[in-house]
Structure 1
Amino acid sequence: MKFTEYISRVNPGENVLIEHTSLSDYPLLSYLIGETYGWKRIILVDIIDSSLPLLRWMHLSNIHIPEDITRFKVGGISDWGNVVLEVNPHNDPGIFLSRFSRALRENYLESYSRGVEAITVVMNPERLIPIHNNRPSFIMTLAALPTVFLGDIKRRAFYFVNIDMTHKRYRALLEEAFTRILKIHDDGRITVLKSPSLNEEGTELDPL
């Protein structure tokens, strides 16, 4: 089964965890999500410029994406895209996570009012954990955030997490809560680790 065919089966309200390493082809999958659902539906949550490796890969691969993608900027210095929210991750987590959550809700409602279901792509939230000194309370709060939107039919979400960098507890909490888990291997294979359809678990997907 192709990756694009598989993600088209993801139901509204689901959270999909995509585990990758620093060497795996995760930029390709992020591009395929945009191509599958349409870039105008994408809300890119860019954690500390995690999108820049994707942009470099696309540029070197001669792949072009729209310049006005809706972008939530969580730290970092780049200003590309249509930045509709900018928050400072160094602030009190209760402040910036609350602003972030509220802005997501507003964007979901605005999209849904136009008859469009939002597709949220969150790039590397694990980068926030060292900023807050690996505090267990912050890890729990950060991991709980996506569960607030679980079941919200106005959106579907894809979280990219670098397992070379992430805190073990954070990864475990996400794996427990998310409806689907995909793992991108360094050799290009994509494995379904978790799915609402048990017969899909263990399935390998072709990226193209």
Structure 2
Amino acid sequence: MITREEILSFRPGEIIVVEYTSKSQAPLVFSEILKAFGSENMLVLDIVDIGFTFKKALEIAGIEPDEIHSVHVIKIGGKINWGDVLAQFDVYSDPRVFIEKTENLIKERAPKKRGIVTFGTERVPIIHKDARRVGLYLVNCAAERLGNPFTTIFYFINRDIAERPFLGLMEDLATRVVMISEEGVRVIKSIQE
């Protein structure tokens, strides 16, 4: 498992892609990230309730961190509220609309959050007709966050669902790629030695 110390060694400005499989223990890594940063320093972008499924898995396992109840959450699609919901946006409309609204809210309400965790990004291209174009747009939006002097950004991406070109673009953009599989957690790309 990845430790809090390792998580805190990730620098502001980095984008970390956390790839996981459907059978892995990815919620445990999210729990460690949340504990490392603290809810007051975190923002979660929950696309189509994927973050909620992580929260629920931790609850069922009896290891749900206290921070999960007060973390700021922006809901994009989905139906289930959790944490301290700042806003809800429709994922099924033009992706540029909800992405622009989300970005504006981040700039307004959370400009200096130390950590941002995004769940479900890989599902957005699947929902829309022009999947590759939408995927490229999402990667370009992520690229704008690279180098933010205050924030470390984590994208949890399910490799079993993500389209390969989208995943490759996100890996290319990332300063680090962490792989969570049934065998454990390992860093497969890093800007550090």
Alpha-carbon contact 1:15-1:179 (below 8 Å) kept: yes
In the other structure, the counterpart of 1:179 is 175
| Correspondence for 1:91 among 90, 93, 96 | 93
After superposition, what is the alpha-carbon deviation per residue over 1:99-124, rounded to whole angstroms, capped at 9, x for unaligned?
Answer: 11111222333xx3xxxx43101112
Are 1:138 and 2:140 matched, yes or no?
Answer: no
| Correspondence for 2:78 among 76, 79, 88 | 76
Q: CA RMSD in A?
A: 1.5
Consecutive aligned runs of 4 or more in structure 1 exceeding 3 Å deviation? none
State the structure with more CA Rg. Answer: 1
How far off is 1:3 after superposition?
Answer: 2.8
Alpha-carbon contact 1:42-1:119 (below 8 Å) kept: yes
Normalising by structure 1, we get a TM-score of: 0.86
How far off is 1:2 after superposition?
Answer: 4.7
Are 1:126 and 2:128 matched, yes or no?
Answer: no
After superposition, what is the alpha-carbon deviation per residue over 1:10-45, rounded to whole angstroms, capped at 9, x for unaligned?
Answer: 111111000000010100000000111112211011
How far off is 1:97 after superposition?
Answer: 1.2
Q: Distance in 2 between matches of 1:154 and 1:12?
A: 5
Gap regions ≥5 residues in structure 1: 200-208
Q: Distance in 1 between matches of 2:150 and 2:50?
A: 25
Alpha-carbon contact 1:75-1:86 (below 8 Å) kept: yes
Q: Distance in 2 between matches of 1:76 and 1:2?
A: 29
Are 1:10 and 2:10 matched, yes or no?
Answer: yes
Q: Distance in 2 between matches of 1:106 and 1:150?
A: 18
| Count of aligned pairs | 191
In the other structure, the counterpart of 1:57 is 57
Gap regions ≥5 residues in structure 2: none
Alpha-carbon contact 2:125-2:135 (below 8 Å) kept: yes
After superposition, what is the alpha-carbon deviation per residue over 1:130-182, rounded to whole angstroms, capped at 9, x for unaligned?
Answer: 11125321111011111111111121111100000001111010011110001
Q: Distance in 2 between matches of 1:72 and 1:118?
A: 16
In the other structure, the counterpart of 1:35 is 35
Normalising by structure 2, we get a TM-score of: 0.93
